[in-house]
Amino acid sequence: MPTPFGTIYSTNITPDPETGIGRWSEQAFIRALRSGVDREGRHLYPAFPYDHFTRVSDDDAKALYAFFMSIDPVKSSAPPNELPFPLNVRLTLAGWKLLFLRQARFVADPSKDERWNRGKYLVEGLGHCGACHSPRNLLGAEKTSAGFAGGEAEGWRAYALGRSSRSPVAWDEAALADYLARGWHALHGTAQGPMANVANNLSQVDPADVRAMAHYLVSLGKGEGRNDVERTRSGPGRLPQAGGAQAATPSIPSEPGGAIYATVCASCHDADRPLPLGGSRLDLSTAVMDEVPTNLVNLVVRGIPAASGASARPIMPGFGDVLDDRQISDLANYLRTRFAGKRQWDGFAKAVAKARGGR
């Protein structure tokens, strides 16, 4: 797991006695889960989100232990972490915990209904959404005062949720539940990066639990998003469809970014076919509205690879090998100006270099 401090390797949690947790008692497992201390008493790095798992109920912690002990043991040891001094000394984590770890089980808010409380329990505990979606301080702890104000994970931006959301379309409960369980939504686009894995996992979770999470998250507020967005486009850029699958490109603007959009992007993104078979509406794209260009650049450079499975999922070819850095910058500048009404992001070239390097 790449972190701003170095690489941390997640350890074997199969019940293998030598290299896994086969010799761990239930108490040792629960202590690790909630307090970040392993069976031998060593502090664990908070890349393992025990600051969230401390909220998990006794019943769920025991159920997790029972499940892990039921899976097939695998003999495999993680490589040593790559962390600089003094972070490689686990005792420093005692200080970190003193400062940042508040050990407490989840307590339901009696003024709210059961579904809201269930959602909050899952979001704050096992779901540990804030681990990515909240900003972190210099010591890598979540800024509790800026919960869900947006964070970063593995080279991707984890968007702000709730009141800080930059989504041009307000999330409602149905849309969010749908997105979490399917990994995409026609008005909100596609989960990529680590969130694609999250959605894959959530597709196997009890739909009532996913709805409860959506219910709670939507209750946090909706930022500047609009509620009245039509499912299909009827605004500027609507194009007649040409014969076959490709739409005609609009007339080419003189501005370089606009010309790239018209000739490269518009045949899908302006073709009036909704997701998953057409391109998403970029005027509704959080990637274009966001404070940092990370996700837009990742998407332009890498595209959206096909996902396995029977259901139709959005897909997009990457253009990192077609467009050079200047062209990507021109394109992003155009999208930013036209759809977000804002200027090009600072540090754009760096974001492109990072996206190219991370492939």
Partner 1 sequence: MTTLIVNGERRSIEASPDTPLLYVLRDELGLNGAKYGCGLGQCGACTVIVDGKAVFSCVTPVMVLEGRTVTTLEGIGSQDALGPMQRAFITEQAAQCGYCISGMMMRAHALLSRDPHATDESIRAELQPHLCRCGTHMRILRAIRRAAEEMRPKTADARTER
**With CB under 8 A as the contact rule, which of the stretches 27-35, 105-113, 142-150, 258-266 interacts with partner 1?**
258-266
Q: Rg (Cα) of the chain, in Å, rounded?
A: 22
Establish if 241 lies at the interface with partner 1 (CB under 8 A): no
301, 293 Cβ separation under 8 angstroms: no
Give the dihedral sign, CA 190/196/198/202.
positive
Closest CA to 176 of 148, 212, 200, 142: 212
Q: How far is the CB of 197 from partner 1 (least distance, A)?
A: 17
DSSP 153: E
Give burial (CB, 10 Å; 0-12/13-18/19+) of 335. Answer: buried
Q: How far is the CB of 321 from partner 1 (least distance, A)?
A: 4
Establish if 301 lies at the interface with partner 1 (CB under 8 A): no
Report the distance separating Cα 174 and Cα 70, nearest Å: 35
Closer residue to partner 1 (CB): 99 or 245: 245
Helices 26-35 + 58-70 axis angle, to 10 = 120
Q: Which tokens belong to 231? A: 């499912």
Establish if 305 lies at the interface with partner 1 (CB under 8 A): yes
Closer residue to partner 1 (CB): 177 or 259: 259
Interface size with partner 1, residues (CB under 8 A): 21
Of 12, 267, 286, 333, the residue at the interface with partner 1 (CB under 8 A) is 267
- HSE, side-chain direction, 13 A CA sphere, residue 33: 27
Of 246, 309, 346, 353, the residue at the interface with partner 1 (CB under 8 A) is 246
Establish if 327 lies at the interface with partner 1 (CB under 8 A): yes
Establish if 263 lies at the interface with partner 1 (CB under 8 A): yes
**With CB under 8 A as the contact rule, which of the stretches 19-27, 38-46, 59-67, 240-248 interacts with partner 1?**
240-248
Residues that bind partner 1 (CB under 8 A): 244-246, 249, 252, 259-260, 262-264, 267-268, 305-306, 315-317, 321-323, 327
